[in-house]
Structure 1
Amino acid sequence: METRELRYFVAVAEELHFGRAAQRLGIAQPPLSRAIHRLERRLDAVLLERTSRAVTLTEAGSVLLREARAALDAVEAAERRTRRAALAATGRPAVVLATKAGASSELLAKLLDAYAAEPDAVAVDLLLCGIGEQEPMLRDGRADVALLHQPFDDTAGFDVEELHTEGQIVVLPAGHPLAAREQVRAAEVAGLPDLPLPRWPGRDGTYPDGPGPRARDHAQLFQLIALGRACWIAPQSCRAQLGDDLAGVPVVDAPQVTTVIAWPPHSRSRAVAGLVRTATRL
């Protein structure tokens, strides 16, 4: 299969409409339809059920969609990493580090300072991401290495080193009755009718159903909490970002959060190896 065919199929499978998929791809609909027919003949499988009213994925189509996305991500990652390797060969080496904005700030600052002091250090391009964005950036080659947070981020398929483990707190308006407590339990937080937990977007950009407000980033969420519209269970290190209008109370039964440094197992980058080595010595 060619990458062009996979891109065509992914567009149709995601749009479930040949016209919209053709518009997204910037081609006419007839050649797109012919390309999908050729792909089905080559695979000897029906990938899409077509009626006059709808297009739906078959079981085989669902499998190919999952595999095609992974294959296209791998191709894009190879292109990006090859370009960076070419730049390194011309004397302009750099390593791209992805991390969640506002998370592990103290650890990140220590890592960057310690690595900059290494004799073989190269420039570090920092990608500050939204919630859950650093893992797909590492998978698709936009980043060479990332700081991820277990159990929230998926580390399957990466090499990882654990750097730091911490408890979690609930972030509340400073005047809330629970803010005066020394500790709380997760059930107490979940039972706050006036302060629902926020909803974060998934990888496809959609929000799950629920009563909590839609959250995009920490700054927006902290303002919502200060206004009495939400609360949030977060790693203890986020205390450093809390203003006087917010309070953080330990949640004794919340799962521990472990920050790891992660990189692709096939990486042969000396810069990545050096950054990982520095991180494990902190």
Structure 2
Amino acid sequence: MEIRELRYFAAVAEELHFGKAAQRLEMAQPPLSRAIARLERQLGVTLLERTSRSVTLTEAGAVLLSEARSILSAVAAAERRTRQAAQSRPRLVLAVKSGTAGGLLAKLLDAYRAEPGAATVDLLLCEAHQQQELLHNGQADVALLHLPFDSTAGLDSEILYTEGQVAILPASHHLAGRSQVRVAEVSALPELPMARWPDHDGSYPAGPGPEVKNLTQLFQLIALGQATVIIPESAGTDLRRDLAAVPVLDAPPVTTVIAWPPQSRLRAAADLIRVATRL
């Protein structure tokens, strides 16, 4: 199989429409159809079921789509990192979930800028679980992840620090004045259901609370009395006046790590990681 064939197949498999896939690839439809048919003959399997009205993936096609996405992401990452290595002044992309690790991030960037020959660091602010995908597909070189919420599967990482968690409540709520609370007390508030974050596959767990993707959206809902949440202590600093953060005595600790692809050979990334582990 060639990379070009995988790009063709991925486009058709994602669009489930030959015409739309051809437009996306900026090519005519007949050669695209022939390329997919040739790929099926080469593999000896049917990848797509076609009717006059629809295109659907077979089980074999679903497997190839997953593999194709990984391969194409790896190729794109290799292209970007190769060009990056040739630059006279290297650049690094650091992925961080928006609204988290603010204090650490400021210290890290200040300390790294003071290093001789420091690269330019471009911050990529993400929503929940996006950092891992950005590292795997080569759009980011390094990321800050928070365990156990994020996953380091397929990545190398170093632990930076571990912290407790806090409940974020409307400042007027009767629990807001407490010195500490327990998980059961927060999760049992009928008027303030726990907000729901997406899982790694993008789906949301069942529950009455609102679906959220970022802290800005979440804090607005809490201020309006629509939800509550238990989050890492560092994410609950510098809150708006109408919110309160209360330590949760029995919430599991959260560990922040710096992570990177194991195949990375970027000197600038290694320097940033070294600085982070010294903080």
TM over 0.5: same fold?
Answer: yes
The question of 1:38 aligning with 2:38 is answered yes
Task: String of CA shifts for 1:198-242, please: whole Å, max 9, x gaps.
Answer: 344567877666533343432222121111111122111122131
Q: Which residue in 2 is equivalent to 1:194?
A: 191
C-alpha separation in 1, matches of 2:190 and 2:270: 48
Task: String of CA shifts for 1:160-193, please: whole Å, max 9, x gaps.
Answer: 1000111211211111122233333333333333
Task: Report the Cα offset of residue 197 of structure 1.
Answer: 2.8
Inter-CA distance 186–33: structure 2 relative to 1 (3 Å threshold):
farther
Q: Which residue in 1 is equivalent to 2:66?
A: 66
Inter-CA distance 197–8: structure 2 relative to 1 (3 Å threshold):
farther
C-alpha separation in 2, matches of 1:7 and 1:122: 33
Alignment of 1:1-282 (within 5 A): 1-87=1-87, 91-200=88-197, 210-282=207-279
* TM-score, normalised with respect to structure 2: 0.90
The letter of the residue matching 1:119 is P
Task: Report the Cα offset of residue 107 of structure 1.
Answer: 0.9
Inter-CA distance 202–239: structure 2 relative to 1 (3 Å threshold):
closer
Q: Which moved more, 1:47-56 or 1:74-83?
A: 47-56
Query: Percent of pairs identical after alignment?
Result: 67
The letter of the residue matching 1:171 is I
Structure 2 residue runs without a partner (length 5+): none
Inter-CA distance 85–163: structure 2 relative to 1 (3 Å threshold):
same
The letter of the residue matching 1:133 is Q
The letter of the residue matching 2:133 is P
Number of aligned residue pairs: 279
C-alpha separation in 1, matches of 2:108 and 2:268: 14
Inter-CA distance 193–32: structure 2 relative to 1 (3 Å threshold):
farther
* TM-score, normalised with respect to structure 1: 0.89
